[in-house]
Amino acid sequence: MDSHKLVHFSETTDKLINHNEQLIKFQDKCKNDFSIDWFNLTYRLYPSPLNNLIHRFKRKKRLTGNKTILRDLNGTFKSGKLSAIMGPSGSGKTTLIECLAGIRVKGVEGDLRLTGRSRVTKAFIPQEDILCSQLTVREALMYSYGLKVGSKLIGKRPYSTLPDYVKEASITIGHLAHQLNLTDCFDVRISSISGGQKKRTSIAQELVSKPDVLLMDEPTSGLDSSSCYQLIKLLQRIASESSMAVIITIHQPSSRTFNLLQDVYMLSFNGKILFHGLPNQVVPTLTAVGVKCDVFNNPADLLNEVAYGEHGYDVLDKMVNKMDANFNPYKYSDNYTNHLNNVKPNGSVHLFSRPLLQSYFQSEASFLSQFKILMSRQLKLCFRNQMSSTVRIVIAIQAVFVIGLMYPNKGLADGCVPDLSHIPISDIKQIRGSIEKQIVDSKDNVGSLFWLLFLICLANMMPMSAIIPIDTKLFCKEFANGWYRIESYFIARNLADLPFILLCDFISVTGIFILTAQPMDRYNSALFIYILVSFNAATHGTILGTVFMHDIMSAVFATPNTLLPFILFSGYYTRISGMPILFRFISIISYPRYGFEAFMVAIFGYNRCKPEGAQSLVHARDEMNNFLDTMFQIAQTSLKDWHNTEDFSSLKNQTINFTNEIAESVTGPWFNENNRSGLFNYFDIQDSDYNSSVLSLIISLIVGQLIAFFITRLKSKSTR
């Protein structure tokens, strides 16, 4: 499906909406009534290995116990009803709805079952829902429709043209926006709409696929009383007209909002059910246990007070014991009798009742159709996200000007022997000065390229570590609701970032080459190396952002701190051969090291030095040797007459050794006669290191991407 056409074509939606049509019908999916039943449901929170490690570090006892949040709960939620879970803070409302949604798995005990259907689709909206704030409401709904519905239908329905399908999608989204009162903000970015509109947008995104079960955690939090009432009324209407099971948690509704609920479960402060029934049954129930409700009191508030234990624990225990004694699972399932008549002769009843979590099914769309839509959305988000686009480009331009102005024309220094042919052999001071200037300029040149490497790493790591935590939270919610596969999301997310990496590397490397006067014949190989390093740095940031998805500050803080060891042990500051064994291991997994070695060979290797320089050095040394040899012979002859051949041979060897020592003291270990840059001697690098470093960068990138993928998969299945 062409997602760009899908979004742009939606501009005609307003002309296609029939504003008198009822709420979108779901009967084509919800042909049979069903219920979600839960028996003896208990949830225990066990200490994590990290908490045990922290306690052991603080020299405290190891945590061996557990905290019980829910205690032997029984109940049922029916399709076609708006059911609410109420209770004081800490009573386990969120825990219960997350158990039903399959968000929490570890620590769950008891039986969760689906009755009346073989499988259902579900949508879970957390209390702090994550939306694509850079998209407009229209775009968000169109993309959700494309991912949840459109990607499954393309190729299955006989659409004559793609616009026919787009028109159907636009009409469906338009109806939904009108009925959820989103038309006023339809073309406004989500970041600019109100809290109530964001809640309705979250609901609309899930309703496009007509789920069988809609679970919402605290949908009224942050809304005023009027907005709460309107939202609950909308949810009641959705449940009644669609035969959908709508399950919400709510803390303290007003009396008007409370009366809209069609099924209420009240949890006590210690995780037990003390009331189940209709809102109008609250007052008689409380009266039966000796709690009077004044006509001016809100029954929901009074029920909350009882749940807190403010009216005595004996009252609380009476209500809990009464609920346990009166509970009958068959009484709460109207489908039980109907489906007993449909039991097969072999006694199979798997269509009547099966484990709930096994009954939820995920997206059935193809990888390619999901990838196209996700790629379109990710590109749009990247272009609109200032952290991914603007900040990266600004850092690249800043790096060009700062490094270029600090190291102007340093690219001319190649670590090779300078031309000494124009300097008299007797002027040792000038020869030494020329060589020292070449050494200093060559070091500065390497420094400019290394700092560019460091800034490129930061420019690609920092945005990813800040963006990925939000992106991963969005992914976890959408994946849990069956929007798409992990593979299509992961590949689309990485490829969408590719244009920005290439653009920023092109700007920075090109600018540095021009301002520092680097040889342009080395440009392509150097750009290739910096791009590989950028990919590795972006992967590094992705891993940190995914690991710290619940704490952006930790992800951003960890970014430079994990990069620093890689930079320190890259071989620029200290030779790798001189490092301790532990630091050598860090250098082995350091992608900046391989980037440094590769760009050193790319810039200074492969016979960059001109042969004239080395020839001039050899010629100067030979001339000095002849000059000194002649002078020594004259000195010896003037002192005494001697013609011993062995004496002359010994004097010749001494002269050669003395000349080499003088040349060594003047040139140092930087220069040699084999036409090779002295930088290679200084940093202990060979031309052959280029291929091995490129291979290491590619392997590092592949391994990093695999680690990021498996962490993403782990996060998609982990529980809080």
CATH number of the domain encompassing residue 355: 3.40.50.300
- Clarify whether residues 545 and 466 are in a common domain: yes
Is 185 a domain residue? Answer: yes
Measured distance CA(670)–CA(441) in Å, rounded: 13
Cα radius of gyration rounded to whole Å, the chain: 37
Is 366 a domain residue? Answer: no
- Clarify whether residues 72 and 199 are in a common domain: yes
Measured distance CA(622)–CA(607) in Å, rounded: 24
How confident is the model at residue 435, as a pLDDT?
74
- Clarify whether residues 250 and 142 are in a common domain: yes
Containing 110, the helix (H) or strand (E) segment is strand 108-115
- Clarify whether residues 597 and 615 are in a common domain: no
pLDDT digit string (tens) for 285-317? 888 888 888 777 888 888 988 888 888 888 888
Is 392 a domain residue? Answer: yes
- Clarify whether residues 279 and 212 are in a common domain: yes
Cβ 608 vs Cβ 526: under 8 Å: no
Q: How many other β-carbons are positioned within 10 Å of the β-carbon of residue 444? A: 16
How confident is the model at residue 478, as a pLDDT?
87
- Clarify whether residues 20 and 109 are in a common domain: yes
- Average pLDDT of the chain is 79
pLDDT digit string (tens) for 646-691? 555 665 565 556 555 555 555 555 555 566 777 887 888 888 889 9
Consecutive sets of 10 residues in the chain, 720 residues long: mean pLDDT of each? 42 40 47 82 77 57 68 90 91 90 87 87 86 90 84 47 64 85 89 87 88 90 85 88 89 90 92 91 88 82 88 86 70 45 43 76 77 90 79 86 90 76 63 77 90 91 86 86 88 91 93 92 93 95 88 86 91 84 86 93 82 60 63 58 56 58 56 68 84 94 94 74
Is 534 a domain residue? Answer: yes
Domain boundary among 641, 656, 675: 675
Q: Write the CB contacts of 507 (distance below 8 Å, at least 6 apart in sequence).
A: 393, 396, 397, 400
For the sheet containing 245-249, what is the strand order? Answer: 122-125, 213-217, 245-249, 82-86, 263-267, 273-277
Is 299 a domain residue? Answer: yes
- Clarify whether residues 671 and 687 are in a common domain: no
Residue 297 CA, chain-centre distance (Å), reads 48
- Clarify whether residues 603 and 617 are in a common domain: no
How confident is the model at residue 693, as a pLDDT?
93
Q: How many residues does the chain have?
A: 720
Is 105 a domain residue? Answer: yes
- Clarify whether residues 414 and 516 are in a common domain: yes
Is 86 a domain residue? Answer: yes
- Clarify whether residues 399 and 417 are in a common domain: yes
Please give the residue range of the domain that contains residue 230. Answer: 3-359
Q: Which two tokens stand for residue 155?
A: 């190729």
- Clarify whether residues 631 and 713 are in a common domain: no
How confident is the model at residue 584, as a pLDDT?
84
In 3D, which of 302, 357, 329 has the Cα closest to residue 98?
A: 357
Cβ 509 vs Cβ 516: under 8 Å: no
Q: How many domains does the chain have?
A: 3
Domain boundary among 308, 331, 359: 359
How confident is the model at residue 9, as a pLDDT?
36
Could you say which DSSP state residue 46 is in? P
Output phi, psi for 106, to 5 deg: -70, 130
How confident is the model at residue 16, as a pLDDT?
37
Q: Write the CB contacts of 280 (distance below 8 Å, at least 6 apart in sequence).
A: 259
Q: How far is CA 395 from CA 94, 386, 557, in A?
A: 43, 12, 18
- Clarify whether residues 289 and 339 are in a common domain: yes
This prediction's pTM: 0.78
Output phi, psi for 243, to 5 deg: 60, 30
Is 367 a domain residue? Answer: no
How confident is the model at residue 89, as a pLDDT?
87
